[in-house]
Amino acid sequence: MPEKTDALVFVSGVVRLHTSLGAYLDVGERRIFVPQFYTRTLLRLFVPGESVTLQVLRSFAEEEKLIA
């Protein structure tokens, strides 16, 4: 995980499933998988249905078209 904060962006969604590998989130009309190593936030177990805001790598967010 890079330490530069400009390399991170915030993504909000609703947790559908959380595993040791990452989390499935509903973001808008889409369900995405956020791998553990692409975020700085997945440090605790999230509960399905919980609304969360994660810090993810900007490159991941752009690839998934979560940001312009």
Count of residues in the chain: 68
CATH H superfamily, domain 5-63: Nucleic acid-binding proteins (2.40.50.140)
Q: Going residue by residue through the chain (68 aa), what tens digit of pLDDT does each one get?
A: 445 557 999 999 999 999 889 999 999 999 999 998 888 865 678 899 999 999 999 999 999 999 87
Domain positions in the chain are 5-63
Cα–Cα distance measured from residue 17 to residue 63, given in angstroms and rounded to the nearest whole number: 21
Residues 6 or more apart from 1 whose CB is under 8 A from it? 37, 40, 57
As a whole number of Å, the CA-based R_g of the chain is 11
Write down the pTM of the prediction: 0.80
> Which tokens in the block code for residue 30?
């889409």
- What 3-state DSSP class applies to 53? strand
Amino acid (one-letter) located at 18: H
